[in-house]
Amino acid sequence: MNEERSTMLKYLRLGGLQANWDQTLKLASKRRMSHAALLTYVIKQEYKIKRENARLCRLQRAHIPELLLMETYPFDQQPKLDRKALLSIYDAFDYMPRSQNIIWLGRTGCGKSGLATGFLIDAINRGHTGRFIPFHQLIDELRAAAADFSEAKALKKFMAYDCLLIDELGYIEVEPAQVGLFFTLMQKRHGKKPTFITSNLGFDDWRSFLKNDYLAAALTDRLTDNSHVINMKGCRSLRCKLGPTDEPQ
């Protein structure tokens, strides 16, 4: 390929054609493609490349700490988990158009985050934007926003994601200002965009770290309305080896 053509293709961001110019011409000759068929082939290849690059970019921007797929979850080690019901939600994928929240409740280490991550990655792979954020980090960002009066900007940022995964809700106590902002965020996303939440605490225990009975009750009602709740309280921890008759405490 001559330099001028390479420069033009680079400017047009046709990286696939630029990298595979000679191979494309050889393939066109071998298959005796018409001009229309060759152009269609080139367009399809560029489309695939750009779609894949966009997917990888969305994954990177999601800040997922570990890319855990649903196919890698050890369901055989969690016989008390309703695998059929969970996979039915996953395969149907109607929680996105219906803007349904999904909440995983269970002991530390039972795989809540892995399952939620699998759902998030699936949504991203299907063309949606997403974000993984630990609860303590979300609270830190809301606290900083309250300190410099940029609450609206922070809320707009987290509202922009098609799918938001808040991991390990309940590990830290929250000040009243942050409780209010968190509730506002959940209220704004409610019925518009799905939110995934994992927590090692049951709903009745949320008031202990939110330190506001009214907002805790209101938040629970808001999150569980039009939602799927995955109860993993009886599931064992995958981080420790339990005997065949051992039950998690």
| pLDDT one digit per residue (tens) for the chain, 249 residues | 688 888 888 888 888 888 888 898 899 899 999 999 998 999 999 999 999 999 999 999 999 999 999 999 999 999 999 999 999 999 999 999 999 999 999 988 999 999 999 999 999 999 999 999 999 999 999 999 989 999 999 999 999 999 999 999 987 878 877 888 999 999 999 999 999 999 998 888 888 888 778 888 888 888 888 899 999 988 988 875 443 333 333
On whether both 42 and 103 belong to a single domain, the answer is no
On whether both 116 and 184 belong to a single domain, the answer is yes
pLDDT for res 248: 33
On whether both 101 and 212 belong to a single domain, the answer is yes
On whether both 128 and 25 belong to a single domain, the answer is no
On whether both 85 and 202 belong to a single domain, the answer is yes
On whether both 83 and 189 belong to a single domain, the answer is yes
Q: Do the bridges between strand 101-106 and strand 163-169 make them parallel or antiparallel, or are there none, so unpaired? A: unpaired
Distance, CA of 160 to CA of 162 (rounded, Å): 6
On whether both 41 and 156 belong to a single domain, the answer is no
191 inside domain: yes
Half-sphere exposure of 101 (CA within 13 A, CB side): 24
247 inside domain: no
Hey, what are 150's tokens?
């940029």
On whether both 84 and 44 belong to a single domain, the answer is no
Hey, what are 116's tokens?
């939620």
Q: What are the Cα distances from residue 156, in Å, to 146, 160, 183?
A: 14, 6, 14
Which range marks the domain in which residue 19 is found? 3-61
On whether both 80 and 119 belong to a single domain, the answer is yes
**CATH number for the domain harbouring residue 171:** 3.40.50.300
On whether both 15 and 127 belong to a single domain, the answer is no
239 inside domain: no
On whether both 144 and 210 belong to a single domain, the answer is yes
SS3 percent helix, strand, coil of the chain, rounded to 5, is 55, 10, 35
On whether both 45 and 80 belong to a single domain, the answer is no
